[in-house]
Structure 1
Amino acid sequence: MGWNSPWKGKRTGGELISEGEDELYHLGIRVREQFPSLFSEEYHPAIYSIKTTQVPRASASSVAFGMGLFSGKGKLGPGGHRAFAVTSESRASDTVLRFHDCCQSYKDFRRSQEPTVKKLKEPVLDEITHELVKQYGLNFTKQDVSSLWFLCKQEASLLNITNQACSLFSPAEVSLLEWADDLELFILKGYGNSLNYRMGVPLLEDVIQSMEQAIKAKEEGYAPGSYEKARLRFAHAETLLPFSCLIGLFLEESEFELIQREQTLQYPPKPPKTRNWRGNMVAPFAGNNMLVLYSCASDNSSKYFVKVLHNERPIPIPGCNGSDSCPFEVFKERIAAPHLKHDYSALCNVNLEQKKDSAPGMFSQMFGWIFSPRNADTPAQKVEL
C-alpha cells in the first residue's frame, strides 16, 4: 500500500486552514475574557483598530480573531456576530507589518547568508542520511531527508499525523532536525544579525505611540468611547520574530546587554544541551505577542506599567530585571530607545523621495499650479485633464 498525498488535486494553497480559524476565533474569545474592562465599549473602529497585511492568510486570521472577540456583541446570525473593520497597507509600502518586504538591506543579507546556513545544517543532514540508509537499506540522499522532514512537519502540524513521514526519524534525530531549523531561524530572522530585528523599528514606534496616546487619554480624562483602547495587528512570523527580538524576549540578562551594544550572540546550543531559542515556542502557528499597558495607583514614581504576554502567557523581560512587568518609562528608555535611534530608511536603503529629475505626474502638476507661490512674471503652467 503506497502513500497517498492528502493534498492530491489541490491547485492552490496558502490560505488559513480550518484549524487556524478555530485557533484564532477562540483566541479572540479568551482575550476578551482576560481583559473584560478593555473590551467593554461598544465597537467602533477608532476604539478597536484592526490592521493586517495584504496577505489573505493574515487577513483571514484577523477576521477569525475579530469574530471571537466581538461574538455576542451584534445581531448577525445565531452567534450574535457583528461587522467590524479590517484595514491594510499596500504590500509595497507596509513598513509597519511587512518591513522585511520593504527592506532591501535585509533581502541582500538574507541572500548572502543562505550558503552559510546550508553549510551549518549539512552535518546534521549527513548524519541522519547515513543512519536512514543503514536502517532502511534505501539510497536516501540529503535532499530526500530534507524533503521527508518537511513532509513530517506538514503532516504533524496541519493534519496531526505523526505515524507516517515522522515515524522515519528517531526522537534524537527529530531533536537534531529541530535544532537545525532553529539555527536557520536564529540566523535569518532572529538574533543572528541586528538588522533582522532593527528593521522592525516602525512597528516598535507604533506600539510606543499607542501607549503614549493611551496615557494622554487617561491623564487628560478623555470621555469613554473617544479614544483608542486596543490596537490589534495581524501579520506573520517574519513580523513577530523581529518584534520579539526588539524587546529582548528569550534572552538572558547578559545576552540582552550584548544586543543593546549590537554585539553578536552565540548560536543556539546543539542538543542535548538546552536552549531558549526554539522555533515551536518563539513563533508557533497563531503565535502572538500582547503588550498590555496598566495604570496603577501608587505612591512610587511609576504609575504606568507594561506587561508582556507571549502566546498568552507572561514572559520575563530581560531589560526589566527578568520581570514580566516593566514601568513604562523604563520600558521606553531601556528597551525601546536603543532601537528607536535607528532610522528605517537608513537601515534598509529605502529612498522614499522621488528622484528630483523625474517628471511630475498630472495631478502633482495640477496641485503644484494651484498651491505653489509664483513670481508675477512667471506664466502659469497650463494643465489639461
Structure 2
Amino acid sequence: MAARNPLWRRTPLNRSWQNIILSLFVIVFIAQLSAPTQAQAQSIANDDNILAAANPQGKKDSSPSLSWIQKHLGTKSPYPHGDKRASPLRDTPKGYELAQVHLVNRHGTRYPSSSKIIAYQKLAAKLGKTAVPGYEWLKTWPGGELYPVEQGNLLTPNGDSDLYQIGRRFGIRYKDFINRYPYDANTYDIRSSMKPRCTQSAYSFTEGFFQGHHTSVEVNGIKQDKSKRPPLQPVAISTLPAGLDKEIAIQDSCPRWVEKIKEDDNTVHEMEVYQKTFLPQLAERLTSLLSNGVSQVNVTTKDVESIYGICSYEVSVYNNDKTFCELLKRGGPVSESKNSSFVNFEISGDLDDYYVFGPVIPFNRHPGCFLGTNLANSIEAALTADPVIPEDDELGPSYYRGVFKFGHSETIFFLSTFLGLHNQTSVYLTGDMTPEQYAQRDFYTSKISPFSANIAFEVYRPKPSNAIRKRADSPKGLVRLLVNEDPTIIPGCGSTYFCEWDTFKQILQKQGAGCDYEACCVLDPADGQTCLSIDPLTRNY
C-alpha cells in the first residue's frame, strides 16, 4: 500500500485550511442566491453612473450635507441660529443714545398646510409600492405622526424655539435699553398677523426679549408678592382681521396686487421656463430609481415637486435629510454644485418669489409702502420729542420705544422690496440664464426670508446734553439696519451702517412713503391717481 503523503496528514493546521475552503464555498453560494436581478443590477449601475458623473474625481462622498441643504430650501430654510452670537450693544455712536427699536419678524418654523399633509401621505403610499431594495421605509413612513393634519400651518415646537432664541439675543443686546424703558403697553407696540403661528411667535419672542425684566417685581417702591404674579412678563399683542391689515398680512388687503400680479399667469412664466430644464429629467430618473422587474412606479413632475416639499419640511422641522431628501440626492446630481437638484429647486423658487414679491415689478414696492410710511412717522416722532400720552388712552402714545411686528414671508419680501434690498439691479432674473449668472444673483430667498427672518431698525438720537429737540426743528438722528440680526448698509446711505435720518427719510419718501395705499390697491384706480406700474421692467415673453 502506497505511503500517505505526509503533507496531507490530519493536523490542526490542515483542518483549519479545510474549514476556510468550506467557508468560501458557502459564501459564494449565498452570494449567488442574493445576487440582484438584471433590472436591479441595471438600476444600481445607473445610480453608480449618476454618482460618478457628479463625482468625477472619486471623492468619498459628494452628496450635499445637511448643513448645506438647510441653507438652500428657499422660504422653508430653517433660521441660521448657529451663525448668531448674543452680546450687549457696545457700539452706540458717541454722543448718541438708543431711542427706539423697530422689528419686523416672520413666524417661526411651521407645519405644512393640512391639504399638503394629506397630499404628502398619498405620495408616500404611491412611492411605497416600489420593490427596489433600500426604499422599504416608504411603506412605513409615519407622515401622519410627524405632520398631524389637525396641526396644519401651526407653529412647530422648534418654531417656538426659533422666536424665543431670537428674542433672547435681542434682549441681551438691548439689556440697558430695556432697563431704561421697562415694559408697559404705552412703551412697546407689539402687533401680529391674526394667524396663530404669528401670534404664538410674538409671544415666544417677547418671552425671550423681556426675560429677567419682569416689571411687576416692584411697583412704585412697593415689592409685590411673587406667588401672586405671573412668572413671565405679560404683554399686549394687537391683531387686525385679514383684509384690514395693511402692514403685516399685506396681500389680503391689496386686491389689485392679488389679481394683476399674484394670480396672473405671466408672473410664473420665468419659473416655468426654468422648471422645464430639470423637472422632467428628474422625474424620469426617480421613476427609473424606484422601478424594477417586480414593480413600476411612475413619478410625475408634480410628484417631484412634492418630494422636494416633504424634504424641505423634514429638514426644517426634524433636521432629517435621510428620507425624501435622499431621493433627490440619488435621483439627480448630488454634488454641492450649481447643477444639484436642490440648487435647481432653489432657483425655481427664487424666480417665483422674484416676480410675485420682488423688485422686477415696480408695483411690488407699493404693498410695503404703508409699513414704510408708519416706520418713517414713528422714527420722526422718536427723534423729535419725548412721547406724550394722550388723555384718550385708546389713541396710544405719540410714539413707542419698541415696535415689534410678527408676520409672514410676504411681510419680509414686501418690506425688502420697498427698501430696495436685494434689488438685482444689474441683470434681472429670467428662466434662461446661465448657471454663472444665477450664482451672481442678489435675490436668494433662502437668505431673505427663511423661517423666522427678521428686519430691525435701531434709532439713535443725540443725547439731551448735545442737542435740544423741538418739533419745529429738523430732527437729527442715526438709523442702523439689521437683517437677520446682522448689520446691513441701507441702500442709498453710502458705505456706513449708521445712516443720517435726513438721508434715510429721503430714501423712504422716494420709495413711496406717504403713498395712498387704498387708492392704488383697488382693482381700478381712479382717474388721475398715480400708481406704480404692474408690469415687469423687462418682458421676455
Shorter chain as denominator, the TM-score bin is 0.7 to 0.9
Return closer, same or farther for 1:44/1:79 CA change in 2, 3 Å cut-off.
Answer: closer
- Counterparts of 1:168-317 in structure 2, within 5 Å, are 168-169=327-328, 170-171=334-335, 172-217=340-385, 228-251=400-423, 265-267=428-430, 271-272=435-436, 273-296=439-462, 303-317=476-490
2:302 to 143, 151, 159: 143
Q: Is the 8 A contact 1:246 1:336 kept in 2?
A: no
1:128 to 1:186, Cα distance in 2 relative to 1, 3 A: same
Offset of residue 112 of structure 1: 0.7
Structure 2, unpaired ranges of 5+: 1-135, 218-225, 292-296, 329-333, 389-396, 468-473, 526-541
Q: Based on CA coordinates, which of the two structures has the bigger radius of gyration?
A: 2
Q: Relative to 1, partners in 2 of residues 1:219 and 1:303: Cα closer, same or farther, differing over 3 Å?
A: farther
Deviations 1:195-227 (A, max 9, x none): 22311111101111110111112599xxxx995
Matched residue, 1:72: 212
Higher relative contact order (CA 8 A, sep 6+): 2
Q: Contact 2:413/2:448 (CA < 8 Å) preserved in 1?
A: yes
Q: Which AA in structure 2 matches 1:132?
A: L
CA distance in 1, matches of 2:400, 2:253: 28
Counterpart pick for 2:232 among 44, 64, 81 = 81
CA contact (8 A) 2:384 2:475 kept: no
The letter of the residue matching 1:11 is E
Task: State the number of aligned residues.
Answer: 338
TM-score when normalising by structure 2: 0.57
Match of 2:137 in 1: 2
3-state secondary structure, aligned to 1:286: coil
Matches of 1:117 and 1:328 in 2, distance apart?
A: 38
Give the structure-1-normalised TM-score: 0.79
Partner secondary structure for residue 7 of structure 1: helix
Structure 2 residue identity aligned to 1:85:
A
Counterpart position of 2:253? 102
Correspondence 1:329 to 2:502: yes
**Whole-angstrom distance in 2 between the partners of 1:328 and 1:163:** 50
Q: 1:94 offset after TM fit, Å?
A: 1.0
1:161 and 2:161 matched: no
Quote the Cα distance in structure 2 between the aligned partners of 1:110 and 1:117.
Answer: 14
Say if 2:158 is the partner of 1:19: yes
Separation of aligned partners in 2, 1:267 and 1:304:
40
- Unmatched tracts of structure 1, length 5 or more: 256-263, 353-385
CA RMSD of aligned residues (A): 3.0
CA-CA distance at 1:174 after TM superposition: 1.0
Give the C-alpha shift of residue 178 in structure 1: 0.9
Q: Indicate whether 1:119 and 2:272 are aligned.
A: yes
Aligned pairs for 1:24-103 (under 5 A) are 24-40=163-179, 41-74=181-214, 80-103=231-254
In structure 1, which of residues 316, 339, 349 is the aligned counterpart of residue 522 of structure 2?
349
Give identity over the alignment, percent. Answer: 23
Say if 1:47 and 1:226, in contact at 8 Å, map to a contact too: no
Is the 2:420–2:491 Cα contact (8 Å) retained in structure 1? yes
Deviations 1:332-384 (A, max 9, x none): 102443312542122211799xxxxxxxxxxxxxxxxxxxxxxxxxxxxxxxx
8 Å CA contact 2:383–2:475 kept in 1: the answer is no
Q: Which amino acid aligns with 1:185?
A: D
